[in-house]
Amino acid sequence: GTYKRNSEGDYKSTEEEVKAMIRDASEEGNDGVILEDYTVKDLDEDTIKKYRNRFSSRNPDHPWNALDTEEFIEMLGGIKEDRRRKIKGVTVAGMLMFGKGLYIRDLFAKINFDFREEIDVSSDQRWSDRVTIDGTWENNIYNFYFTVINKLTSNVKVPFRLENLERKDDTLVHQAIREAFVNQIIHADFNIQGTLKIIKTKDSLEFTNPGSLKIDLESIFKGGNSKSRNPRIQKMFSLIGLGEGAGSGFPKILSAWNEQNWRTPELKEEANLSQVSLKLWMISMLPEECLESLKNIFGKPFNSFNKYEVLILATAYLE
């Protein structure tokens, strides 16, 4: 008896959609659920060690550095105690971020991780590089992020800048790509069928996650509002310097792209597929081939158009 409205009208919701609405109604997010019978022993020691090294490097005097493993993960929100129900265990956030791949696959069988680099591919080779669940790595979110992030930012053609006469390779574009990656993770619905997918081509990066947008597109572009589906995972990333927590992430991406005069990022919700995708174009808003095509269409009068007229025509042509 539940209906959902889209741009075309009302349609009857599936059972999965109703369950997603109920989950999203919680102010605490989706990742605080206690996984009964799962303890710190079900988390991957090597992943936790790598996280703690990064945490202590960033926060050398933090009191949490002196805690044992279980206490540390509990402070992060990866372990939780419910005194009313008299249970204590690993949370969804803790398992997804630090868990052993076997248990993640058992608990979240509908979800896959997939990165594909589609550069210099041929008809018999669909990708030039790939990271997916294949048994060669402990497939938790922490490892997926740090395995893929350098692949995303390599070969990004953005000039370095000087700061206090020192070279800074970490540009606004690199920061924006990290922001887009973290946003993809913290807004994903890991309870439904889907893939945390990233596709890298010569001139774009596309991030896709299962779920829906929790706020409207206008508010996302404007910034200042943030409704994370996985706030504990968001906190875990923020404590090691990754991700914005005040709704400023998407404006940060837009600012970096505007600085490069690249095409505006495309954010869209595909309700029929229960997924959200963000496409970051790394090509000029006015590609040379576009200008040449417009010159062929309009002839000599094209040279008299002002920059706004050219921009409007180029946008119409590209879109």
Instruction: Please say whether the beta carbons of 98 and 44 come within 8 A.
Output: yes
**pLDDT mean for each 10 residues of the chain (319 residues):** 77 79 76 94 97 97 97 97 93 97 94 92 82 94 96 78 62 91 94 94 94 84 79 95 75 87 88 91 81 91 84 87
pLDDT of residue 163: 61
- Determine whether 8 is exposed, middle or buried from the number of CB atoms within 10 Å of its CB (0-12, 13-18, 19+): exposed
pLDDT of residue 82: 92
pLDDT of residue 34: 95
Instruction: Extract long-range pairs of 28-31: CB within 8 Å, 24+ residues apart.
Output: 28/231, 29/228, 29/229, 29/230, 29/231, 29/232, 30/92, 30/189, 30/190, 30/191, 30/229, 30/230, 31/77, 31/91, 31/92, 31/93, 31/96, 31/190, 31/229, 31/230, 31/231, 31/232, 31/233
pLDDT of residue 4: 78
Provide the token pair at 310: 């050219």
pLDDT of residue 210: 94
- Give dist(CA 130, CA 137) in Å, integer: 13
Could you give the C-alpha distances from 92 to 38, 89, 230, in angstroms and in order?
10, 10, 9
Instruction: Tell me the β-bridge partners of 3.
Output: 12
pLDDT of residue 161: 62
pLDDT of residue 164: 61
